[in-house]
Amino acid sequence: MKVVTVVGARPQFIKAAVVSRALLKYRTDVREVLVHTGQHYDANMSDVFFDELDIPRPAHHLGIGGGTHGQNTGRMIEQIEALLVTEKPDWMLVYGDTDSTLAGALAASKLHIPVAHVEAGLRSYNRRMPEEINRVLTDHLAGLLLVPSMGASDNLKSEGIVGPSVRVVGDVMYDAALYYREKARRPAIPVLGDLHDNDFALCTIHRAENTDDRARLGGILDGLAALPIAVVLPLHPRTRARMVSAGISFPDNVRVIDPVGYLEMVWLEAHCRLVLTDSGGVQKEAYFHGKPCITLRDETEWVELVEIGANCIVGASPQAIQQAFARMLTCEISASVQPYGTGHAAERVTEAL
């Protein structure tokens, strides 16, 4: 069996790493062809992941990135289609909710190649998010929907997607958290030299709804400025560019660093006191490492974390950020509650394929 896997953004590299490892370990009759669209084209956002996660270099690198959603998706479809005509795979395997995900699913479906979607069924119910459009369309194209939780399965059921094509496999990001926890390393960055365990907060900001809205971005930074703790902010290139163009400066308690590799990010997540983020993946990773999370969005697709009290949603309000910080500092994350499986999701993905 031949599987073409399409990745393009850093969370997808992490997910692909654990599934690729499972394919190699449990199946000798599967050949995987890895395609990197280039959606994340900065070396710190992409290349370093292949080195750290021990992922084989992609068989194909499309070098597509930096354009609008429409430009990127269209160019990806064109090039992926050409590859599929040559490779003739049995499955197209896609992850998550990026433009690369949708492009892979569309190209394959039009060539009648079945699509398997890892992380199917997630919904924020905010159609203004490009990611929401990508995940909904991909789910309705997929022939195998590999969902991380029962809630995700219920979302699909409400849209009429039921039956044996829907498999609750757990979350491959939990597999990754367990596997890479012992391999994590402290970032060798001077501005972090005096920080100790649990005496800093970790923040990431990258979604367009925050970076492209000066009022929201300013509100978030005002909220960070009011926190009685150092805040480590690995700065996404999109956020840096928007801040420069808007003339927004960083609060004194915020320590800005360049994007870090996955193993360094794991260390920061595991050793911080609390996480503030607009990233879906970082919300889960905070939980996997036993850290409370404040979500800098108006909704989340990871509703289970809100329901169990490990995560709270504050939007971009400075007051809400301050109030949530005080409240979440006392939050105890229970290791006995795990809505995303047992850490064997990659094996179940392999079995389903």
- Degrees, nearest 5: CA angle 88-91-95: 125
**CA-wise closest residue to 279 among 264, 258, 265:** 265
* DSSP class of 51: H
From the list 60, 117, 206, 236, the catalytic residue is 206
**How are strands ordered across the β-sheet holding 311-313?**
254-257, 230-234, 200-204, 274-277, 293-295, 311-313
Task: Measure CA of the first residue to CA of the last residue in the chain; give whole Å.
Answer: 9
**CA-wise closest residue to 136 among 154, 123, 126:** 123
Alpha-carbon distance of 138 to 73, in angstroms, equals 13
Our measurement of the distance from residue 256's CA atom to the centroid of its chain's CA atoms, rounded to an integer in Å, reads: 21
140 is catalytic: no
Q: Which residues are catalytic?
A: 206
